[in-house]
Amino acid sequence: MPQSFLHSARRLAACLSLSLLGLTWAAPTPLPVLAWPAPDSLPISALLRPAPVPLQRPPFRLKTPAQPGNWTAWVIAAPRERPAQIAERYGVTLSALRVVQSGGERAPSGLPLPGGQVVRVPLPPPIVVVRRPASIKTVTLRYGDTLSALMLRSNLSERELISANLDLGSLDKLSVGTRLNIPTRETGLLLRIKPGQSAAELIHLYRASPLSVARANAITLPTELRVGDELLLPGIYADSRRDELLARRERAAQQAREAVVLAQYQAFEAWKTARLMERQRRYEAYQAWLNSPERLALVAKYQRQAQYDTWLAQQAAEASARQAEYQSFVAQQNVEDAARTQTIKGQMLDLAANDPRPQMQAAVLAEQSAPDLRLVWPLDHPRLTSRFGEEDIEFHVEQFHGGLDMVEPMGTPIHAAQDGEVTKSGDGAYGTNVYTVDAALGLTIIYGHLSATAVEVGQQVKQGDLIGYVGCTGECTGPHLHFELRLGGTPVDPLAFLP
């Protein structure tokens, strides 16, 4: 190790020891400031024209003094120098300058000044430099910040955070805008040197290591720090302050719990008193109401209500008997309607048998050998415009009409008349069509002239499922459904299998 380094280290240790023992040490030269107070008694010949001195920005904090006082610069103008040049040089407005004359002061006119003219320039108060450790940064709390989150982000314990912020009044009630000191390297006790104190006394009082203090505060001697500067004592922690804040938190929590319990008890007592008063009021009102005209009228009303309920029960029994009689009548009518339907279907078969057209003869043979089919109507109560084989329009004369045309408004839902597999869904012989096939029965059902389909090829549909919507695609004269049945490929009359 070089001898010069050892010699310097010994001198530093000796200086620190002398400072801790209270021996006098020469104070360092203070930093320059931007302005200075100039007493009115100062001779004009002693005034200089000061130039602004740039301030360095070490790890210091700047603040203005509590009572700045009267700060003024007296300037001797050069020949032909304008007041605006002086104002610009000192960073003030032209109206702030005052030209000194024998009779007093006046505002400058803006014209060039004669050489030697005295001008008073009011200056802002100087900036006082306050020194603090470079490893301490300041954080301003924002909305939603908590001490626990801040400690987690800064990797600090509660003890370390409290020791760096002795003015912290609570661990829980922190307002937005609160400024906290955050150690970024060494942690310890952060103190502000007060009047009557010195850094050496504080180091000796808290028994801190002088070398650790010198490294943490970037100083050579304790006398470099003055009143108002901040001093970091590494490894020293404000445990008593932490215990005080924790005790304050516990007291506040206990008071809050006691306040909640007291409020609950008071609410319970108020509720119990109100309940007793309400029960007493109701009992007294009930005693007064027992023989009141209102009660007697209510008793008579209840008697009339009982009589009315008895009458309603009799009416319900009679209505039930009438309903049973009606259901029996409906069942008989259904039997008669079924018989008439079979008779009509027989007559239709007879008429079709007498029709010489080969399509009608083929339909009759297919219907006679058809299995027992129980179809449902694809539309609810439709209006039939063209029946099976009917030659009602010229197109049906040219082309045999092999189904039923059912008229309904555009977009009316169409439902499956029978189970089956969709074999076609889209454009076809009847505009937009849907074909369903029941292979076991040899049955094919065609739904024609649809505006849109709701099924896809290969899909299995059940009786009543949505097939599509009424439309007017293909050859048609208006919105309707062409409903066609084919048994073994032969068109048959759908009315022979619909209920």
CATH code of the domain containing 487: 2.70.70.10
Reply yes or no on whether the pLDDT at 344 is more than 50: yes
pLDDT tens digits for range 372-414: 788 899 998 888 888 888 877 777 777 888 888 999 999 999 9
User: Does one domain contain both 119 and 142?
Assistant: no
| Of 46-55, 106-115, 435-444, the least confident | 46-55
Q: Tens digits of per-residue pLDDT, 20-37?
A: 333 333 333 333 333 333
Last residue of a domain, one of 190, 209, 237: 237
Nearest to 75 by CA among 83, 64, 65: 83
Mean of the pLDDT values across residues 212-225? 91
Give residue 347's pLDDT. 61
Alpha helices in 354-435 (DSSP H): 358-368, 394-398
Same domain, 422 and 386: yes
Strands (E), 285-403: 383-386
Whether residues 110 and 228 fall in one domain: no
Other beta carbons within 10 Å of 92: 16
Alpha-carbon distance of 239 to 316, in angstroms, equals: 88
- pLDDT range class, residue 13, cuts 50, 70, 90: very low
Assigned domain for 336 exists: no
67-76, 283-292, 337-346, 475-484: segment of lowest average pLDDT: 337-346
Q: Please tell me the predicted confidence (pLDDT) of residue 343.
A: 67
| Per-residue pLDDT, 296 | 86
How far apart, in whole angstroms, are the C-alpha atoms of residue 205 and residue 198? 11
| CB within 8 Å of 116: residues ≥ 6 apart | 76, 77
Q: Please report the pLDDT score of residue 348 as a whole number.
A: 66
- Residue that is written with structure tokens 């304050």 in the block: 248
CA–CA distance, 449 with 227 (Å, rounded to integer): 101
92 and 200 inside one domain: no
Q: Would residue 470 count as lying in a domain?
A: yes
Contact 109, 119 (CB under 8 A): no
430 contacts: CB under 8 Å, gap ≥ 6: 446, 448, 449, 473, 474, 475, 482
- Strand locations in 153-293 (E): 179-183, 188-192, 230-234
How large is the average pLDDT for residues 46-66? 37
**Distance separating alpha carbons of residues 134 and 153, to the nearest angstrom:** 19
Whether residues 381 and 492 share a domain: the answer is yes
CB 206 within 8 A of CB 189: yes
* Count of CB atoms situated within 10 Å of the CB of 350: 10
Is the residue at 246 inside a domain?
A: no
477 and 381 housed in the same domain? yes
Q: Do residues 120 and 159 both lie within one domain? A: no
66: left (phi over 0), alpha (psi -120 to 50) or beta: alpha
Residue corresponding to tokens 């065609």: 446
Residues 84 and 189 in one domain: no
Q: Is 127 part of a structural domain of the chain?
A: yes
Q: Other CB atoms closer than 10 Å to residue 240's CB: what's the count? A: 8
Mean pLDDT, rounded, for 232-243: 90
**Closest by CA position to 166, among listed 199, 194, 131:** 194
pLDDT on residue 7 = 45
pLDDT of residue 124: 78
For residue 56, pLDDT beyond 50: no
Asked whether residue 71 falls in the same domain as residue 166, the answer is no
C-alpha to C-alpha distance for 69 and 126, rounded to whole angstroms: 10
Instruction: Answer whether residue 282 is part of any domain.
Output: no
Q: What pLDDT does residue 498 have?
A: 84
Q: What is residue 64's predicted lDDT score, i.e. its pLDDT?
A: 39
For position 416, what pLDDT does the model report?
A: 94
pLDDT at 40: 37
Could you list the residue range(s) of the whole structural domain that residue 394 is in?
A: 370-496
Give the count of domains, the chain: 3
The closest of 132, 141, 211 to 164, measured between CA atoms, is 132
The pLDDT-based confidence of 445 (bands split at 50, 70, 90) is very high
* pTM of the entire predicted model: 0.36
Q: What is the DSSP letter of 59?
A: S
Over the stretch 272-291, which tens digit does the pLDDT of each residue have? Answer: 999 999 999 999 888 888 88
